[in-house]
Amino acid sequence: METVSTKEVVTKLGNQSINVLVLCAGAGTSAMLANAITEGAKETGATISASAGAYGSHYEIMKNFDMIILAPQVNSFYEDIKKDTDALGIKLAATKGAEYIKLTRDPKGAISFVLSYFD
């Protein structure tokens, strides 16, 4: 995935802000990607915020987010959560092992990943 530039972020987002929830089994792994997204937002000027959570604790708060990213260990719940995200108009992304690790180490790449779900 190509890294996004600050100009591309501003062009794509305009005045829109995106609130992302990253879910894993216990909120530890998801914090790594949430932190990368937060860092990437600072680096690019993107109005994107990210929070980490444990799958199962998201039901009450998911309506407050524009996008949910599933860490690899909770990918098996994709179809279950997809019904809820579709009903609420929330973007849903599932990640695989190597992809997830790469995103946690590439803040600008993490921003590109998030933006790829918004047109």
d(CA 61, CA 73): 20
Cβ 2 vs Cβ 111: under 8 Å? no
From the list 18, 20, 23, 24, the catalytic residue is: 24
Q: Is 24 a catalytic residue?
A: yes
Cα-Cα-Cα-Cα dihedral sign, residues 115, 50, 65, 29: positive
Where in the sequence numbering do the catalytic residues fall? 24
